[in-house]
Amino acid sequence: MRVTMILRAWLVLVFVGSLQIASVQSAWAEDGYALWLRATPVQDAGLRRAYVKNIKAIVVEGNSPTLLAAQKELSDGLAGMLGRDIPLVQDLRRNGNLLLGTPGASEDIAGLDLPFESLGDEGYIIRALKVRNKRTIVITGNTDTAVLYGSFALLRHMQTRTSLTDIDIVSVPKIQNRILNHWDNMNQTVERGYAGESIWDWHKLPEYKNARYTMYARATASLGLNGTLLNNVNANAAILTPVYLEKVAALAEVFRPYGIKVYFSARFSAPIEIGGLDTADPLSADVQKWWAGKVAEIYKAIPDFGGFVVKANSEGQPGPQDYGRTHKDGANMMAQALKPHGGIVMWRAFVYDADNNEDRVKQAYTEFQPYDGLLADNVSVQAKNGPLDFQPREPIHPLFGALPKTNMTLELQMTKEYLGFDTHLAYLGPMYEEVLKTDTFAKGEGSSVAKVIDGSLFSPKLTSIAGVLNIGSDRNWSGSTFNQANWYVFGRMAWDPYLGAEDMATEWTRQTLTNDDKAVKAIVKIMMMSREAVVDYMTPLGLAHQMDTGHHHGPGPWVDNLGRDDWNPTYYHRADEVGIGFDRTASGSNAASLYHEPLASQYANIETVPENMLLWFHHVPWDYKMKSGETLWDTLVREYTHGVSEITEMRAIWAKQEAYIDAERFAEVSALLLKQEREAQWWRDASIAYFQTISKRPLPADVTPPPLSLEEYKKINWPHLIGY
Ligand code: GCW
């Protein structure tokens, strides 16, 4: 009796001690490095007991590097959350087993009545059941990678403090290729990167593999992403040379156990630059031979290489049009080289031509739509979500729904090139959700972008999604705590494009910041407000591309002197004494007609176009009566002003969360929200000051006028910004 009591007291001490160690650690270690993989102690004693009852031992059937990675995730995560080591055992215990493996490797698992045939290669099952009459939670799938995904999912479940009793999850990715795109240059700068240098330390590779690579792979795989494009689409051919292939092979080795394939941006003129040829003409036999040889060399070094992403004939990049050929010729030539090895080409549709005066948002459609059905089956056309360029809000790209016989990749941007860089809090989940849910009407109602991308609408051979990542060498990876959420939500929606932004914000907050219910609600509220706030203070009512020249930081609606018309903010807002906005109806560029009906008419009609896209499609008189009854001018001013007050409200909500967040991250977010509030005010004031000189209308009586003159706003500049 006494012995039991002493033992109990000792156990309590050990447990409390380990909790204390964990919380002391978190007092100094909450610098954001651990992302959403923190696995902090479960405070709720009842829930902790239930977890412990469910998981007393781990059994792993197999010993591949992938399964070992899964087991390590579970062992570390469970120790962190439960405050005790969960033993790894060979055989099922009486009760409380966590059993990992595939039906191929485990007779026990093969004997279970589970829907393996519906899982493909990557889908997983987590189910509480009995194995040989012993209470067990099984994590399984047809491959070890699927088991790894399931392991991360179980941890996510526990990190969000959900019960495991009766757990029953079957989850299959809806998109095949789920790829991060790094715009990382070989000299370690990052185009549109605001979080330090590139994490790829090319100089030290292949000998030295920074521990960050493994952490990166863990985070990436935890979301179910399965590919990474290592280098900028404004590509340098050096990555295709033997010296770099060896370095990439070393990275690929780190990523392989985590199910992540590597991809390259291939520079179209590489046959000239590193191949010694005098042409890169895709129809030249020498060029074709060169690429075939190069691809074979790549696969020798990296047998599971994913393929190429190509930016051609866009913003000065070389491409097939330099030789009088087409995007189709270029893409099919590269596809042919990759085909024998199972590789794919993602040919970007972000093209606009210096000699073409057509409305820029129509050009990709004009260039690609005629090739529908003519591209090789291992080519995918990679289009940004909108037809312009990752603006705070754009309508969907008209190519979605216009290429029924073509593989398509949706490209989203996580790095906030046009949404306040690393400092403005803008959770992009609502934007991604808006894009994915938009109905293209390509096959009548119910033809959402998600269905185009996941293949359920047109049944293409390949389905893919790509996201331009926002990370760098900063300790917290993404330059600010909340930017991590954009990596998170991209990854989760890449797995399942029907997931909701609010649910993903909740999941992320619980794992990354706090599990306190009230605090979670408040933080999710901030996140869900944030993107719309940015739209309001930067580009309300369908305005776009009003950012200052080159770096895109801060307002520049007055800029009209850049090398090309369509780089100028004035080209996009078209404000004059009559009104503001870009006429994209039949009386203007007619870009609205590129959409399927009834979308085309809805956009083209000023009465039915959503007000948040009004000025994208219409040139609207300043005195036009909006649905609220106010004039367009008054509404515009109010939208800018509202954007600022949204940030003020977000700051106030955040200020109340101090008790729930570690000091380091609380202070960082507080400081950045202050910066955001100031910059939102700047955006609002400068934009109103400028447009008022054109509208020549008074501000509504209750609105505060900008404190400075337009000339003073024009003088503000930022000569030393990074990332471009
Ligand atoms: O968003 C724009 C950026 C460029 C980028 C380009 C692209 C990589 O301003 O920096 O180049 O798009 O997507 O190719």
Q: What pLDDT, on a 0 to 100 scale, did the predictor assign at position 29? A: 58
Q: What pLDDT, on a 0 to 100 scale, did the predictor assign at position 104? A: 98
Rounded to the nearest whole angstrom, what is the distance from the C-alpha of residue 580 to the centroid of ligand 1?
26
Q: What CATH number does the domain located at 177-512 have?
A: 3.20.20.80
Residue whose CA lies nearest to ligand 1 atom number 12: 389
* 3-state class (DSSP) for residue 579: strand
Q: pLDDT for 649-690, tens place per residue?
A: 999 999 999 999 999 999 999 999 999 999 999 999 999 999
Residue of 131, 215, 110, 114 lying closest to 172 (CA atoms): 114
pLDDT at 7 over 70: no
Rounded to the nearest whole angstrom, what is the distance from the C-alpha of residue 590 to the centroid of ligand 1?
25
* 3-state class (DSSP) for residue 118: helix
Q: pLDDT for 186-216, tens place per residue?
A: 999 999 999 999 999 999 999 999 999 999 9
Q: Which tokens go with 500? A: 């909701």
Catalytic residue IDs: 315, 389, 417
Instruction: For the chain, count helices (H), then strands (E).
Output: 22, 15
Q: How far is it, in rounded angstroms, from Cα 434 to Cα 29?
A: 36
Rounded to the nearest whole angstrom, what is the distance from the C-alpha of residue 232 to the centroid of ligand 1?
9
Q: How far is it, in rounded angstroms, from Cα 585 to Cα 19?
A: 63
Rounded to the nearest whole angstrom, what is the distance from the C-alpha of residue 240 to the centroid of ligand 1?
22
- Of 341-355, 527-541, 698-712, which range is least confident? 341-355
Query: DSSP class of residue 73?
Result: H
Rounded to the nearest whole angstrom, what is the distance from the C-alpha of residue 227 to the centroid of ligand 1?
20
pTM (two decimals): 0.96
Average pLDDT value over all residues in the chain? 95
* Average confidence (pLDDT) over 271-293: 98
Q: What pLDDT, on a 0 to 100 scale, did the predictor assign at position 355? A: 78
* Average confidence (pLDDT) over 3-8: 48
Q: How far is it, in rounded angstroms, from Cα 322 to Cα 437?
A: 38
What percentage of the chain reaches a pLDDT higher than 90? 93
Q: What pLDDT, on a 0 to 100 scale, did the predictor assign at position 16? A: 45
- Of 12-21, 332-341, 385-394, which range is least confident? 12-21
pLDDT at 469 over 90: yes
Q: How far is it, in rounded angstroms, from Cα 613 to Cα 601?
A: 14
For residue 717, name the pLDDT band (cuts at 50, 70, 90).
confident
* Average confidence (pLDDT) over 218-237: 98
pLDDT at 283 over 90: yes
* CA of 232, closest atom in ligand 1: 8
CB 474 within 8 A of CB 196: yes
Q: What pLDDT, on a 0 to 100 scale, did the predictor assign at position 3? A: 45
* CA of 183, closest atom in ligand 1: 8
Q: pLDDT for 114-142, tens place per residue?
A: 999 999 999 999 999 999 999 999 999 99
pLDDT at 693 over 70: yes
For residue 356, name the pLDDT band (cuts at 50, 70, 90).
confident
Residue whose CA lies nearest to ligand 1 atom number 2: 389
Q: Decide if domain 37-171 falls under CATH 3.30.379.10.
A: yes
Q: Which tokens go with 324? A: 């009088």
Q: How far is it, in rounded angstroms, from Cα 387 to Cα 408?
A: 14
User: 381: phi > 0 → left, psi -120 to 50 → alpha, else beta; which?
Assistant: beta
Residue of 356, 465, 357, 486 lying closest to 409 (CA atoms): 465
pLDDT at 244 over 90: yes
Q: What are the boundaries of each domain within the chain?
A: 37-171, 177-512, 536-582+619-714
Terminal-residue alpha carbon distance, the chain:
71
Q: What pLDDT, on a 0 to 100 scale, did the predictor assign at position 20? A: 43
Place of tokens 């010296």: 243
pLDDT at 28 over 90: no
* CA of 552, closest atom in ligand 1: 9
Give, for ligand 1, the residue of 414, 417, 548, 567 to mutate: max count of ligand atoms closer than 8 Å to Cβ.
Answer: 417
Q: Nearest 10 degrees: CA dihedral of 530, 231, 408, 141? A: -90
pLDDT at 530 over 90: yes
Q: pLDDT for 362-393, tens place per residue?
A: 999 999 999 999 999 999 999 999 999 999 99
Nearest 5°: phi and psi at 664? -65, -50
* CA of 317, closest atom in ligand 1: 14
* CA of 311, closest atom in ligand 1: 14
Rounded to the nearest whole angstrom, what is the distance from the C-alpha of residue 413 to the centroid of ligand 1?
10
For residue 354, name the pLDDT band (cuts at 50, 70, 90).
confident
Q: Domain 536-582+619-714 class?
A: alpha beta
* CA of 233, closest atom in ligand 1: 8
Ligand 1 pocket (Cβ < 6 Å) reads: 183, 191-192, 232-234, 311, 350, 389-390, 417
Q: Which tokens go with 297? A: 């060399």
Give, for ligand 1, the residue of 190, 192, 360 to mutate: max count of ligand atoms closer than 8 Å to Cβ.
Answer: 192
For residue 724, name the pLDDT band (cuts at 50, 70, 90).
confident
Q: How far is it, in rounded angstroms, from Cα 492 to Cα 173?
A: 10
Q: pLDDT for 424-453, tens place per residue?
A: 999 999 999 999 999 999 999 999 999 999
Residue whose CA lies nearest to ligand 1 atom number 13: 350
Rounded to the nearest whole angstrom, what is the distance from the C-alpha of residue 417 to the centroid of ligand 1?
9
Place of tokens 């099922």: 92
Q: How far is it, in rounded angstroms, from Cα 570 to Cα 124?
A: 51
Place of tokens 């209750």: 702
pLDDT at 630 over 60: yes
Give, for ligand 1, the residue of 348, 350, 547 to mutate: max count of ligand atoms closer than 8 Å to Cβ.
Answer: 350
Q: How far is it, in rounded angstroms, from Cα 477 to Cα 470?
A: 8
Give, for ligand 1, the residue of 184, 185, 234 to mutate: max count of ligand atoms closer than 8 Å to Cβ.
Answer: 234
pLDDT at 478 over 90: yes
